[in-house]
Amino acid sequence: MKKLLTLLIGNKITLFITALVAGMFLPLGTIYYENIQTYDSGLEFLNQWSLWDANSYIQIARDGYFGRYFAYFPLYPIVLKLASYLTLGNYALAGLLLNLGFSFAAAYLLFKICKEEFKDEKIGLWANVFLFFFPTAFFFTAIYTEGMFLFLGIAVMYFLRGKNWLAVAVAAFFAAMTREVGGMLILPIAYVALQDFKSNKLKKILAILSPILGVLAVLLIYAVTSGDPLIFLKQHEGFGKTLSLPYVPIINAISGLSIYNAWNLACFLFTAILTWQVYKRLPKQYLLYCLAVLLPPLCSSNLEGYSRYLLVAFPMFMILGTIKNNLLRAGYLVIAVPLLLLLCIRYVTGAEWVNPF
């Protein structure tokens, strides 16, 4: 446990120092100045972690839903609003503290679930190394939903493993209110619950239905605030995201090959290989979890954001944690850590160069 805390603290300190140094020596991009016009925390360091979509979550928490912000699911802004009361209305500080808490909670649960599946604490520690030093893992620190959803997703699978159906239901309900893919968690839950449906039927039914209930809660919020429960679908179209078959974004990325598309294609290949290993080496509910969170982003016209969306597919990092070869471990870190720092700098400065997310 001490090593796990050291790992997480080291990860956060590294990212914070990177942000501070970048703010001191690099010019801030247009996005930075555009975002602080809508929300300024009063401190450049906090503003750096409040850019891009983070600014949208802050505006929803502060002002409620309007316009394009209906594209974002409501639980994180709600929690951010509540946390802001503890930081005297500073939403950036509240979000940063929230995501620090979610990161540590998720890392602890990932450590525990690896220990129980593999009977080896080192695998849990290495799974966290591979996860929190993945090139886009700075989103666990920035004011995005990645940290919250990762924690809730691991919680669903952890409690599912222990057949704690009420805890599964609560975690899945909130996961479905956090991101669109949360509703898909019905897949691993139903798979485990229906294997032995003779006992605890009511609790199992509640657990199976909980992701759907979470989605319905979101639709109710949208209906009350906009009059249209499906308004989020229209807003996604405004961001250039339209429903398609899973192979379409792959073909589009290949046909319009660029650095950005090549990066997302590499991330897709990364997930394809590791998901196959999840299928071969872990209980099938972990495969269903990976499919639940990785397939919906592919049902879009492009791969935009795929390198971020894959972060919550934690079973892949459990597989990476089983690597024993020190050369392979070092090779991963040699590639991942510089990319993590580079993309973190891009994020916190609001830089204008190629979008790698």
Residues 133 and 51 in one domain: yes
Residues 161 and 226 in one domain: yes
Buried/exposed 125-134: b ≥16 CB within 10 Å, e otherwise: bbbbbbbbbb
pLDDT at position 163 = 94
Q: What angle do CA 3, 5, 8 make, to 5 degrees?
A: 110
pLDDT digits (tens, 9 = 90+) for 260-301: 899 999 999 999 999 999 999 999 999 999 999 999 999 888
pLDDT digits (tens, 9 = 90+) for 240-259: 667 788 888 899 889 988 88
Let me know if residue 207 belongs to a domain.
yes
Let me know if residue 86 belongs to a domain.
no
Phi, psi (5° rounding) for residue 243?
Answer: -65, 140
Residues 128 and 44 in one domain: yes
Domain that holds residue 12: 1-72+102-143+337-357
Greatest C-alpha distance within the chain: 64
Let me know if residue 41 belongs to a domain.
yes
Give how many domains the chain has, as a whole number: 3
Give the separation between CA 13 and CA 330, rounded to whole angstroms: 21
Residues 38 and 126 in one domain: yes
pLDDT at position 136 = 97
Residues 131 and 158 in one domain: no
The Cβ of residue 253 has, within 10 Å, a number of other Cβ atoms equal to 21
Let me know if residue 36 belongs to a domain.
yes
Predicted confidence band of residue 356 (pLDDT cuts 50, 70, 90): very low
pLDDT at position 354 = 45
Residues 139 and 1 in one domain: yes
The Cβ of residue 342 has, within 10 Å, a number of other Cβ atoms equal to 13
83 is written with which tokens? 């946390």
Answering whether pTM is above 0.75, one says: yes
Residues 130 and 196 in one domain: no
Predicted confidence band of residue 238 (pLDDT cuts 50, 70, 90): low
Residues 187 and 287 in one domain: no
Q: Mapping DSSP to helix (H, G, I), strand (E, B) and coil, where does residue 263 land?
A: helix
Q: Which of 169, 198, 231 is the last residue of a domain?
A: 231
Residues 53 and 106 in one domain: yes
Let me know if residue 81 belongs to a domain.
no
